[in-house]
Amino acid sequence: MNTTKIAIAIFALCGFATSSCSDADKTATTTTSLAMIGSTPKKPEKQLSETFRKYWYDGTAEISSYTLEQARYAEIHSGNAVLIYVTEDFLPKIQVKADQQSAENIPVLKLNSTKKFLTGIYPYSVMQSAFYPVADNQHALKVTSSMQEWCGHVYTQLNNKDQFEVVSHSYFQGEADQEFRINKTILENELWTKIRIDPNNLPTGTQQTIPALEYVRMKHIALKPYEARMSLTSTDNVSTYEITYPELKRALKIRFTQDFPHKILGWEESFISFGKPLTTKATLKKTIKTAYWGQHSNKDLKLRDSLQL
């Protein structure tokens, strides 16, 4: 079944609107650089099971809250993390959420990942988004990341075109405004969505991988592929996906339920923070399914209690 047929079948089963989040603001850059040209072919499309459709196309999003222990400035800071998974239709050319049904749309499973924590007197707010085809046959169509704190804010956007096209803005002098391209390879940001679709299809072994955009900006390193060692293990219905970057001295472990819907139970991220080895930890608090985009009134504030936020 091709992507168009998948989309039509989903619309017939569940209706079109599964989310009504607003489009992101458009940005511009002032400098341009180019890397080598390259692309990767699409793989055969994954056939969606009835179980998958009933869970992910019921007109709601899955929202999970986590207790966060974030490593930053050589210390651990308390906070909250939230993972919001929702299916929606994506416009492949301009790479934004589709507002109308069309045979050209690509069904994606979107992940909005947020973190909020304090570092002394000032707060951090981090958000990453990944738009990954439910067909599980190509890289994420788009990945974005933004970070705000009292010193300033940064924004990075990666679009899947003939190559990965990257736009990045930062208040740091050495980063500033950039626009460049890199060869396609595994994106750490997309792996969180691949887990939810089919963890058995996760890459393993030694792979060239682009680290999470959040990590790249926090560490002020080059956004490019790094060698990563990947493994998947399972015990007592809990699976662990581990990614280790020898050059970066960083390791990420994601724990999730082995059975569908492969819920993310938590994660650990170990790296060097200002010369000190530390580990960020996130532990699941609560998961709900709800159409949050329509719950924006004062009367809906009580719904945050159900997420322990």
Tokens of 63: 């929202």
Structure tokens given for 171: 């208040």
| Residue 174 CB burial class (10 angstroms; 0-12, 13-18, ≥19) | exposed
What pLDDT was estimated at residue 45? 77
CA distance between the termini of the chain:
41
Contacts of 274 (CB under 8 A, 6+ apart): 73, 74
Digit-by-digit pLDDT tens for the chain (309 residues) are 444 444 434 433 333 334 444 333 333 333 333 333 344 556 777 788 899 999 999 999 999 999 999 999 999 999 999 999 999 998 888 888 888 788 888 999 999 999 999 999 999 999 999 999 999 999 999 999 999 999 999 999 999 999 999 999 998 888 889 999 999 999 999 999 999 999 999 999 999 999 999 999 999 999 999 999 999 999 999 999 999 999 999 999 999 999 999 999 999 999 998 888 999 999 999 999 999 989 999 999 998 988 988
Please answer whether residues 85 and 99 qualify as being in contact, where contact means their C-beta atoms are separated by less than 8 angstroms.
Answer: no
Q: What is the pLDDT of residue 191?
A: 98
Residue 41 has a pLDDT of: 58
pTM of the model: 0.84
Residue 13: beta bridge partners? none
Position 172 scores a pLDDT of: 84
- How far, in Å, CA of 306 to CA of 63, rounded? 10
